Homo-oligomer: A and B are copies of this chain.
Amino acid sequence: MRDPATTSELPTPALVLDLPAFSANVATMSEALPGERLRPHVKAFKSTALAQRLADAGHERFCCATVKEMEGMAAAGLGADLLLANEVLDHTRLGRLVEAGARVTVAVDSDETVDSAAAGGVREVLIDVDVGLPRCGCEPDDAGRLADRARGLGLEVRGVMGYEGHLMMVAEPDAKAAQVGKAMELLLAAHEAVGGDIVSAGGTGTYAANTWATEIQAGSYCLMDTDYGSLGHPFVQAIRVVSTIVSISAKGWAIADAGLKAFGMDHGNPTWPDGDVFFCSDEHTTLLDPDATLAVGDRVSLIPAHVDPTVARHEQYWVVDGDDRVVDVWPIDLRHW
Contact = CB atoms under 8 A, between A and B. Distances in A.
A192 interface: no
A216 interface: no
Interface in A107-148: 109-110, 112-113, 130, 134-137, 139
Interface string A290-303: 00000011000000
A2 interface: no
A266 B280 CA distance: 9
Contact of A282 (B87, B265, B308): B308
A91 to B, nearest CB: 12
Nearest to A244: B89
A13 to B, nearest CB: 6
A145 to B, nearest CB: 14
When all copies of this chain in the complex are counted, the total is: 2
Contact of A309 (B12, B13, B260): B260
A121 to B, nearest CB: 16
Contacts of A314: 336
Contacts of A66: 283
A335 B247 CA distance: 23
A294 to B, nearest CB: 12
Contacts of A25: none
Interface in A85-112: 86-90, 109-110, 112
Given A257-B88, A260-B309, A265-B264, A65 B282 contact: yes
A136 B255 CA distance: 7
A284 B135 contact: yes
Contacts of A322: none
A66 B261 CA distance: 11
B43 A282 contact: yes
Contact of A247 (B65, B87, B280): B87
Given A134-B286, A296-B89, A246 B113 contact: yes
Contacts of A297: 89, 112
Interface in A49-75: 65-66
A325 interface: no
Interface of A: 11-13, 43, 65-66, 86-90, 109-110, 112-113, 130, 134-137, 139, 165, 244, 246-251, 253, 255, 257, 260-261, 264-266, 278-284, 286, 296-297, 306, 308-309, 312-315, 335-337
10 contacts: A11-B90, A65-B282, A66-B283, A113-B246, A130-B249, A134-B251, A134-B278, A134-B279, A264-B265, A265-B266
